[in-house]
Amino acid sequence: MPSIGFLLNAAVKATAILAAVWLLTLTMRRRSAAARYFTWTCALGALLAVPAISPLLPQWNLAVKAPALAPAARAVSMVEAAPEAALERAGNMPPARTTRPIPWPVLVWLAGVIVALARIGVGHLRLARSLRRAREVRASEWIAARHAAAGSIGLRRMVKLRRSAEIDVPLTGGVYTPFVVLPEASEEWDAERRRIVLLHELTHARRRDPLLWLVARVAVALYWFHPLAWLAAARFRREQERSCDDAVVRAGTEQSDYAKHLVDLARAVAHTGSYAAALGMAATSDLEQRVRALLDARRNRNGLSRRVCGAAVAAVVAAVLPLAALHGQASQTGASLSGTVYDASGAVVPHILIILRNNTDRQDAARANAAGEYSFSVPAGSYTLEIRAPGFAEFRKAVVLPAARMNIVLDLGQVSEAVEVVGKAARPQETGTPHRIRVGGMVQATKLVTMTKPGYPPGAEAAGIEGTVLLRAVISIKGDLLGLSVINQAVDGELANAAMDAVKQWHYDPTLLNGEPVEVVTTIAVTFRLER
């Protein structure tokens, strides 16, 4: 599931791509429709490629560093048992993961994508069902016209012709195997109209336009919230038809005759857009502009050679790869969260440790001051606020930043008692060889034996920098710390180094499981506070 940061990065990159292509096409007014169609095709393809390849490329992060966060007090060690840690060394230790709710912006985006993709799927199902009821065209005049049109445009594969009473104008469809569907009225067409219609529809088939139209619609489905994506798809579709019209003219059709046939076909349209999965020849939404373009004798109608297309694709790849590798990282001052921690009676809870986690396992910590007040300054995004304190119930709440203030009320922990009543059972009859049963469940918690207190770094102290450093390590079976590392990113570097230098000298009595020492994971919060 993508995070909010991933969606924001994708939206920013999509804006950059579409805006650049929009400006580029404004300079291409004298170029052919085929060139503009190819440009929009590359743009919509890039919209799909950039987020897909972005996780696979080395990241180029743009970040602004900010001072660490909240008031602090003293060092504290929190130890959590991890039975799997006994099987893995510190270097291979995976970070602890918790189940977090999906942020509501991601849910809204996902709902829109599902609706858009469902519409695409329904359109293709309708087209497939209609195609099963269509009859294959076997008339000799149509077969001869198909062979002649295919030869004039260089189409080598066979495209089936079908006739259906459910459509008004010729359609070209088929993602893998293109086909042309003709209306019932096509039985009365003369040779010239048959030739023009087949030239137009077989050009779509030769260029695999139905597949490219599906790619464009999927791109719009993923970026349904972006107005430029819808405008790009509309321009793509317009240039797709105009470039196909130019191909018919290049094949030897008189421009005025072609425009007349196009208008006549458009008059028969009763249900515009009834089959969005296919490409209709005489769509009425852009008919006037198409006719004007056809009758413009000065218009550039040239196609694109394979060499030009290959060079353009190489240029697009060269531009897209750096953009996909670029990851914008919000400034640490981009969002803030603050508030006061209270107990159930309304009194403040001082010096309590608060953990803020995001969906990428980033952790930040703050310790409330004597008045129970806390504050965070972190990048905007989706987080989970957690508090675990003796005597209180565990507190966990999802928050989406930026936010201003959130007060926390801690409930008291539940109290439970267990009573075991033991009676005498009848002694079972021994029927076999007795065997020993290994009894476990005896855990003796670790204990901090030697602690070196961190010193306040002079540079941070002079600069007035405070903060809480979260460290993670493994307490070995000998009581030493293995794989010590800093797990919150926003903390000041001097504070982190001072905490690391001191904590790595700590020594514990190891945890005992059934009398045997085992490794456990520990999280250590070292807080630096300046007295005022």
Q: What tokens does 36 get? A: 């503009």
Q: What tokens does 83 get? A: 């039975």
In order along its 532 residues, the chain shows pLDDT tens digits of 677 778 888 899 999 999 999 999 999 988 999 999 999 999 999 999 998 888 887 766 555 444 433 333 333 333 333 333 333 433 444 444 444 567 888 899 999 999 999 999 998 898 888 888 899 999 999 999 999 999 999 898 889 999 998 888 899 988 888 899 999 989 889 999 999 999 999 999 999 999 999 999 999 999 999 999 999 999 999 999 999 999 999 988 899 998 998 888 888 776 545 567 777 877 657 788 888 888 988 889 998 888 999 998 999 899 888 888 877 554 444 678 889 999 888 889 998 999 988 866 678 888 899 889 998 888 877 888 899 888 788 898 888 887 668 899 988 766 555 555 555 666 666 555 655 555 444 557 788 888 888 999 998 888 888 888 888 888 988 889 888 888 877 788 889 899 999 999 999 988 887 678 888 888 888 888 888 7
* pLDDT tens readout for residues 47-59: 999 988 888 877 6
Q: Is the peptide bond before 402 cis (omega within 30 degrees of 0)?
A: yes
What phi and psi, each to the nearest 5 degrees, are found at residue 470? -100, 125
- Give CA–CA dist 516/280, Å, rounded: 76
pTM: 0.59
> Taking the domains of the chain in order of start, what are their residue ranges?
4-64+102-120+205-326, 76-101+439-528, 335-409
- Give domain 335-409's CATH number out of 2.120.10.70, 3.40.50.2300, 1.10.10.10, 2.60.40.1120: 2.60.40.1120
Q: What DSSP assignment string belongs to 350-369?
A: TT-EEEEEETTS-EEEEE--
Rounded to 10°, the helix 209-222/191-206 angle is 50
Residue whose pair of structure tokens reads 């926003």 in the numeric block: 490
- What is the homologous superfamily of the domain 76-101+439-528 according to CATH? TonB (3.30.2420.10)
CATH topology identical between 76-101+439-528 and 335-409: no
- Give CA–CA dist 236/57, Å, rounded: 29
- Partner residues linked to 485 by β-bridges: 472
Question: Distances from the Cα of 360 to the Cαs of 54, 92, 394, in angstroms?
Answer: 16, 18, 22
